[in-house]
Chain A
Amino acid sequence: MVKEELYSYSDTVNELLARYGVRFGIYKNGTFKEQLFPFDMIPRKIGRDEFDYLERGLKQRVMALNEFIKDIYGDKKIIRDNVVPEEFVYMGSGYLAQCEGVRPPKDVFTHISGIDLVQAKDGEWYVLEDNLRIPSGASYPMIAREICRRSSPETFKKNAISDNRNYAKLLRKTMDHVNVGGHTVILTPGRYNAAYFEHSYLAEQTGAHLVTGNELVVENDNLFFKDYSGSKERVGAVYRRISDEYLDPMNFNPESVIGIPHIYDIYRKGNVALINAPGNGVADDKGIYYFVPDMVRYYLGEEPVLHNAPTYLPFYPKDMEYVLENFDSLVLKDVAEAGGYGVVFGSGMTGEEKDRFIAMLKAEPRRFIAQEVIDFLDIDIYENGEAVPRKADLRAFVLMADEPMVWKSGLTRFSRNPDSFIVNSSQGGGFKDTWVMEE
Chain B
Amino acid sequence: MAILSLEHSDQLYWLGRYSERVYTTIHEYEKRFDSLIELKEEDYNAFCKAQDIPNIYNSKDDFIQRYCFDENDTNSIYSNLIRAYDNAVVLREEIGSETLAYIQLAVYAMNKAKASQAPLIQLQKVVDNIVAFWGMVDDDIDNEHVRSIIKLGKRIERIDLYARMKMDPVRLRREMKRLNTRINRTGLKYNTMKLAHLNYLVEMSEIPNDIVVEEIESLFDDEERRTENA
Interface residues of A (CB under 8 A from B): 18-21, 183, 190-191, 196, 200-201, 203-204, 207-212, 214-215, 225-230, 233
Interface residues of B (CB under 8 A from A): 3-9, 86, 89-90, 92-93, 96-97, 100-101, 104-105, 108, 187-188, 228-230
Residue of A nearest to B90 (CB): A191
Task: Give the contacting residue for B230; candidates A207, A230, A233; CB below 8 A.
Answer: A230
> Are the CB atoms of A19 and B101 closer together than 8 Å?
yes
Given contacts A204-B96, A210-B93, A229-B229, contact A18 B3 (CB under 8 A): no
The SS class assigned to the B binding surface is: helix
> Are the CB atoms of A226 and B104 closer together than 8 Å?
no
Given contacts A215-B5, A228-B5, A228-B229, contact A201 B92 (CB under 8 A): yes
> Are the CB atoms of A214 and B7 closer together than 8 Å?
yes
- Interface CB pairs A-B, < 8 A, 9: A18-B108, A19-B105, A21-B100, A191-B90, A200-B90, A209-B3, A211-B5, A227-B3, A229-B187
Which residues on A sit within 8 Å (CB–CB) of B8?
228
Which residues on B sit within 8 Å (CB–CB) of A215?
5-7
> Are the CB atoms of B104 and A21 closer together than 8 Å?
yes
CB within 8 Å: A-B pair count = 69
> How far, in Å, is B7 (CB) from chain A's closest CB?
6
Which residues on A sit within 8 Å (CB–CB) of B93?
200, 203-204, 207-210
> How far, in Å, is B103 (CB) from chain A's closest CB?
9
CA–CA, A207 to B188, complex, Å? 23
Given contacts A19-B104, A20-B97, A21-B104, contact A228 B92 (CB under 8 A): no
CA–CA, A233 to B89, complex, Å? 24
> How far, in Å, is A162 (CB) from chain B's closest CB?
23
CA–CA, A190 to B188, complex, Å? 24
> Are the CB atoms of B5 and A21 closer together than 8 Å?
no
Which residues on B sit within 8 Å (CB–CB) of A226?
5-6
> How far, in Å, is B71 (CB) from chain A's closest CB?
14
Given contacts A21-B89, A21-B100, contact A228 B105 (CB under 8 A): no
Given contacts A203-B92, A230-B230, contact A225 B97 (CB under 8 A): no
CA–CA, A56 to B108, complex, Å? 45
> Are the CB atoms of B101 and A228 closer together than 8 Å?
no
Task: Give the contacting residue for B92; candidates A204, A212, A233; CB below 8 A.
Answer: A204
> Are the CB atoms of B104 and A20 closer together than 8 Å?
yes
> How far, in Å, is B216 (CB) from chain A's closest CB?
21
> How far, in Å, is A223 (CB) from chain B's closest CB?
13
Task: Give the contacting residue for B101; candidates A20, A196, A210, A229; CB below 8 A.
Answer: A20
> How far, in Å, is A183 (CB) from chain B's closest CB?
7
Shortest Cβ-Cβ A-B pairs, 5 listed: A200-B92, A203-B93, A228-B9, A230-B229, A204-B93
Which residues on B sit within 8 Å (CB–CB) of A204?
92-93, 96-97
> How far, in Å, is A76 (CB) from chain B's closest CB?
41
Which residues on A sit within 8 Å (CB–CB) of B230?
230
CA–CA, A21 to B91, complex, Å? 13
Q: Which of B92, B104, B229 is the most central at the interface, judged by chain A CB atoms within 10 Å of its CB?
A: B92
> How far, in Å, is A366 (CB) from chain B's closest CB?
41
CA–CA, A200 to B92, complex, Å? 6
Residue of A nearest to B108 (CB): A18
Given contacts A204-B93, A204-B97, contact A228 B104 (CB under 8 A): no
CA–CA, A190 to B202, complex, Å? 41
CA–CA, A96 to B4, complex, Å? 34
Residue of A nearest to B149 (CB): A228
| 20 further interface pairs, Cβ-Cβ under 8 Å (given A21-B97, A21-B100, A225-B5) | A18-B104, A19-B101, A19-B105, A21-B104, A183-B3, A191-B86, A191-B90, A200-B92, A203-B92, A204-B93, A207-B93, A212-B7, A215-B6, A226-B5, A226-B6, A227-B3, A228-B8, A228-B187, A229-B229, A230-B229
Which residues on B sit within 8 Å (CB–CB) of A20?
97, 100-101, 104
> How far, in Å, is B4 (CB) from chain A's closest CB?
5
Which residues on B sit within 8 Å (CB–CB) of A190?
90
Q: Which of B3, B7, B8, B229 is the most central at the interface, judged by chain A CB atoms within 10 Å of its CB?
A: B3
Which residues on B sit within 8 Å (CB–CB) of A201?
92, 97
> How far, in Å, is B101 (CB) from chain A's closest CB?
5
> How far, in Å, is B24 (CB) from chain A's closest CB?
25
Given contacts A18-B108, A201-B97, A230-B229, contact A225 B3 (CB under 8 A): yes
Which residues on B sit within 8 Å (CB–CB) of A228?
4-6, 8-9, 187-188, 229
> How far, in Å, is A231 (CB) from chain B's closest CB?
8
Which residues on B sit within 8 Å (CB–CB) of A18?
104, 108
Residue of B nearest to A15 (CB): B108
> How far, in Å, is A258 (CB) from chain B's closest CB?
13
Residue of B nearest to A211 (CB): B5
CA–CA, A227 to B143, complex, Å? 14
> How far, in Å, is A194 (CB) from chain B's closest CB?
14
Which residues on A sit within 8 Å (CB–CB) of B96?
204
Which residues on B sit within 8 Å (CB–CB) of A209?
3, 5, 93
Which residues on B sit within 8 Å (CB–CB) of A230?
228-230
Which residues on A sit within 8 Å (CB–CB) of B90?
190-191, 200, 210
Task: Give the contacting residue for A227; candidates B4, B101, B105; CB below 8 A.
Answer: B4
Given contacts A191-B89, A204-B93, contact A21 B7 (CB under 8 A): no
Which residues on B sit within 8 Å (CB–CB) of A200?
89-90, 92-93
CA–CA, A225 to B3, complex, Å? 8
Task: Give the contacting residue for A21; candidates B6, B101, B229; CB below 8 A.
Answer: B101
Which residues on B sit within 8 Å (CB–CB) of A225?
3, 5
